[in-house]
Amino acid sequence: MNSPQTLFAKIWDEHVVVQEDGAPSLMYVDLHLVHEVTSPQAFTGLRTRGLRVRCPDRTVATVDHSIPTIASGLQAADKEAANQIRHMEENAAAFGVKLFGLSSPQRGIVHVIGPELGLTQPGMTIVCGDSHTSTHGAFGALAFGIGTSEVEHVLASQCVLQRRPKTFEVRIEGRLGPGVAAKDVILALLSKIGVSGGAGHVFEYTGSAVRMLSMEERMTICNMSIEGGARAGMVGPDDTTIEYLNGRPYAPAGPAWDRAVDRWRRLSSDEGAGYDASVTLDACALQPMITYGTNPGMGIPVTGVVPDPDRTDDGAMKEGLKKSLAYMGLKPGQRLLGQPVDVVFIGSCTNSRLSDLRLAAGIIKHKKVAPTVRMLVVPGSQEVKRQAEAEGLDRVFISAGAEWRESGCSMCIAMNGDQLEPGQYAVSTSNRNFEGRQGKGGRTFLASPLTAAAAAIAGKIVDVREMVNS
Amino acid sequence: MSSFPPFSSRIVYLPHSDIDTDQIIPARYLKVTDKQGLGEGLFADLRRKPDGSPDPDFPLNKPENSGASVLLTGENFGCGSSREHAPWALKTAGFRAIISASFADIFRNNALKNSLLPVVVDAETHARLVNLLALHPEAEVAVDLASQTVRLPDGFEVRFPLDGFSKRSLLDGVDELGYILSFAKEIENFERRHESPPGEVAA
């Protein structure tokens, strides 16, 4: 009898093309997602060597990072951004790569459209020159971010050299309480294991709570695996996965669908498969989370207090915490409840899907955004935007006084015109609160769409459970 | 002639842990389509005051550190975004090795592909280096990839770990894409037995 295997091991073993002694594995890539920021130098490399894209049918490009999200005319923020977008268009045309460009109704954030179009499928290896490629692991794919040199390697060979990572089981049992969202689960995990706790590992999220989550919720959690240092996060495919994919434009159909489903159902980790590390979270005990510092591991329950650097013995941690609090303008022991905010951002590859917008709209409905707050709602794709508009969510946001935008990475990355002003405080549903991430000098509190929407109404950080329960 | 010969250099010390790639090079510098001019973006927000003038207290701005090609920093260096612009910017600014207790996985991969050597040292060695610099800011460290050692002026020498493949690649200047493409036959054979690519079904 074969020994029980993890989901990760099954996919890894099936994709090793060459394994030389002492060398990293040469891994085959099933799907290569490409965007405008991390690909131009890779295409230039191909040109220099006179190489073609080996598998245009496994390569899909879009523009998302540097594009504007203002509806009128979609003028790029500056000529550098416009140039980068033009390069993507020219490279896709020259190398025969499918591009969902600025004028495509199917364009959007690369980690939103992959799943939405059914390109992302269980059992695949998926790479992209973007660390949030971990998102696609929600489907039981092995998906991880790569650098531009590796983008060039994959374009030229459809392969990438990788060392086999270790496995890390994140078991989440129980049911989430009212006002607690998938984002709170991952922020709670990060606050527990820190931003390097998963380094060298691939997370697999298991347990009853994960089984109850929708695909979009699973994507939110897998998306931020990289914030724990793990390059990939995965969930074993189940009925929820299969139901989501059925009928998507690039999902298999007819007899091919039945064969694929058969294959996908055998992928989940076998009973008794072992992991190199593990941690357990009790979903019932989780509260709405918010970050106070300058990395995503610096999170606390929204009712909690900012930690005191002087109460840790670890010198590096103490210094890091002091630096973070100085940047954030916060004091040790301070409560975040009541902290005024200037901007609320609903969007990014973490939380810009239809269910995220529904959560935020549910809080906003029949209310007004506080006059001191600028609220941006940026759907993850043009398809998400259309669906949201069909449900009237756009009118909920607009009549509350929020800005309803075209899709894109927007204020998550501050390279496209959407950004914080120095000193501003934002509650963001994005994934990174790094110094300057949302704009030079901008200060970010990461939270769920529920907590972010509640802050927009109140003009300050509040416990959304008080709005949900009332 | 080795592609990564031994060298000695002064050390720039950035004391913090978890320095993410957004700090190494902010996103607004990623709008280039080549690898030129990225030195400008290196630690752009850390090395300047809010008014845009250089911060004289930032280690990279100190005159004694100009020309240094070794960076000493806290653990988990290079976490966050996969942007290879981070090692490109560090290389552009003249760095050849980074010493830390640990590196984020993607950054480490990206660094190695650009002949930027990630040197992992234990906490004791890290502390010894920090103390050395506190007393002798001009101290030089000798980095030798062939013997996988860093040597301090007091003669203290420590071996750092590096897998044989990466070491050979750096020393011999191996073209990784050339290495991968040497397996064209194996890739073709693999493709013959592997699942076909996702096709658009609904037109």
pLDDT in tens, chain A (470 residues): 579 999 999 999 999 999 999 999 999 999 999 999 999 999 999 999 999 999 999 999 999 999 999 976 667 888 999 999 999 999 999 999 999 999 999 999 999 999 999 999 999 999 999 999 999 999 999 999 999 999 999 999 999 999 999 999 999 999 999 999 999 999 999 999 999 999 999 999 999 999 999 999 999 999 999 999 999 999 999 999 999 999 999 999 999 999 999 999 999 999 999 999 999 999 999 999 999 999 999 999 999 999 999 998 887 788 899 999 999 999 999 999 999 999 999 999 999 999 999 999 999 999 999 999 999 999 999 999 999 999 999 999 999 999 999 999 999 999 999 999 999 999 999 999 999 999 999 999 999 999 999 999 999 999 999 987 65
Q: Can you read off the two tokens belonging to residue A243?
A: 């139901």
Q: Can you read off the two tokens belonging to residue B126?
A: 């890290």
SS3 label, residue B81: coil
CA distance A419 to A416: 8
β-bridge pairing A166-173 and A201-206: parallel
- Whether residue A131 and residue B113 make contact (CB cut-off 8 A), yes or no, is no
- Whether residue A320 and residue B197 make contact (CB cut-off 8 A), yes or no, is no
Is residue B195 scored above 90 in pLDDT? no
Out of A31, A432, A437, closest to residue B198 by CB: A31
Side-chain-side CA neighbours of B178 within 13 Å: the count stands at 6
Q: Does A418 touch chain B (CB under 8 A)?
A: no
Out of B22, B30, B165, closest to residue A434 by CB: B22
CA distance A209 to A185: 10
B residues 41..60 contacting A (CB < 8 A): 45-46, 50
A residues 81..100 contacting B (CB < 8 A): 81, 83-84, 87
The whole-model pTM stands at 0.97
The pLDDT, as a whole number, for residue A418 is: 95
The pLDDT, as a whole number, for residue B37 is: 86
CA distance B177 to B112: 13
Complex confidence, ipTM? 0.96
Q: Would you say A244 and A105 are in contact if contact means Cβ atoms under 8 Å apart?
A: no
DSSP single-letter state for residue A135: G
β-bridge pairing A31-35 and A59-62: parallel
The residue-averaged pLDDT of B141-155 equals 96
CA distance B141 to B126: 12
SS3 label, residue A139: helix
Return the number of CB contacts < 8 Å for A and B.
202
Measure B193 CA to nearest chain A CA, in Å: 11
The pLDDT, as a whole number, for residue B198 is: 75
Measure B84 CA to nearest chain A CA, in Å: 5
Question: Chain A partners of B195 at a C-beta cutoff of 8 Å?
Answer: 30, 123
Q: Would you say A251 and A273 are in contact if contact means Cβ atoms under 8 Å apart?
A: no
- Closest residue in B to A434 (Cα) is B22
- Whether residue A249 and residue B201 make contact (CB cut-off 8 A), yes or no, is yes
Listed residue (A413, A397, A447, A449) closest to A64, CA to CA: A413
Q: Does A41 touch chain B (CB under 8 A)?
A: yes
The pLDDT, as a whole number, for residue B196 is: 78
pLDDT digits (tens, 9 = 90+) for B51-79: 889 999 999 999 888 899 999 999 999 99
Q: Does A37 touch chain B (CB under 8 A)?
A: yes
- Whether residue B201 and residue A252 make contact (CB cut-off 8 A), yes or no, is yes
Listed residue (A67, A69, A70, A87) closest to A78, CA to CA: A67
- Whether residue B202 and residue A84 make contact (CB cut-off 8 A), yes or no, is no
Q: Does B27 touch chain A (CB under 8 A)?
A: yes
The pLDDT, as a whole number, for residue B200 is: 59
Measure B141 CA to nearest chain A CA, in Å: 23
CA distances from A120 to A19, A162, A449, B121, B193 (A): 26, 21, 24, 39, 20
